Amino acid sequence: MDFMDEPLSQRFTVLYTHTSPDPISDFLTSHAASVRAVVSVGRLPITAEFISKLPSLEIVVCASVGFDHVDLDECKRRGVTVTNAGDAYGEDVADLAVGLLISVLRRIPALDRYIRSGQWTRLWDYPFGSKLDKKKVGILGLGSIGSLIAKRLEPFGCVISYNSRSPKPDVPYIYHPEVLSLAAANDVLILSCSLTDETHHIVDRKVMETLGKNGVIINIGRGGLIDEKEMVKCLVEGVLWGVGLDVFDNEPEVPEELFGLENVVLSPHSAGMTAESLNNVTEVALSNLKAFFSDQPLIFPVQLD
């Protein structure tokens, strides 16, 4: 992905791992002394070993909202600053979350395949969907993206509740301190929280069973938020009504069992991939770099405590 190459090279001396013929370890060793900043555009793990090869490293700039691929403990130990993309992708990710939800509920991809396969021979001989109007929607992680999703669902008459680390007194939605109670109270779960040790597989089989056979899960957060193997079993067994997934546990690998299921809508981690969002994240990354090297406040710093 080279959308940042030209804007970065106009302001900084840039070394590109994605165009280098050398293995990443050799590349890092060759340029170790000169690298003061790393711009992480993809999902290359920024591990303790990676960081150890760069003795002059001062800042890691993530071109993503999530930073679970960065060893924050090692960055803290080394005094390396970390920033992320903040709300650069927010509007577009929220749009796709709602799009996935409507697509799952109304079976839009299944209906598209139905027509393309030539099966439409008489009226109403196709899979029926379910309406979004007045659905009870639980949002797991009411941060900037979760809030934008909630805002988009309000005009549909959805009853919105949420789970976060703590209640947010300035929002009009019902707070659930536990994920199980959130699942029990809703028709839909939308996952938009960060992936941490605490949230890994936070949606397990018990949560899915609690959501129930009419329940829908939308994941635009990280694949590791849900127990993917159990999710597949739940879909096959009819424990869930449907899912919409933009993220997966071991990208770009996707469980093959999902391909034949008509109640599943898949997207290749593309929620923020619009021209507008890529422009936004480029500006955020550049602003963070310029601020850091000018000793100015960072735009979206990641807390390492």
Cis peptide upstream of residue 252 (ω within 30 degrees of 0): yes
Query: Position of tokens 């999710």?
Result: 231
Q: Residue 225 and residue 233: Cα distance in Å, rounded?
A: 16
Q: Residue 235 and residue 274: Cα distance in Å, rounded?
A: 30
- Residue 34 parent element (H or E): none
- Residue 217 parent element (H or E): strand 216-219
User: Per the residue annotation, which of 251, 262, 276, 283 is the catalytic one?
Assistant: 251
Query: Position of tokens 């040790």?
Result: 197
User: Per the residue annotation, which of 176, 222, 228, 230 is the catalytic one?
Assistant: 222
Q: Residue 78 and residue 80: Cα distance in Å, rounded?
A: 5
Residue 39, CA distances (Å) to 17, 50, 59, 82, 173 in order: 10, 13, 8, 10, 37
Question: Rounded to a whole number, what is the largest CA-CA distance in the chain?
Answer: 70
Is 257 an active-site residue?
no
> Residue 123 class from Cβ within 10 Å (0-12 exposed, 13-18 middle, 19+ buried)?
exposed
Buried b (16+ CB within 10 A) or exposed e, 59-92: bbbbbbbbbbbbbbebbeeeebbbbbbbbbbbbb
Is 6 an active-site residue?
no
CB 231 within 8 A of CB 211: no
Is 43 an active-site residue?
no
Q: Which residues are catalytic?
A: 222, 251, 269
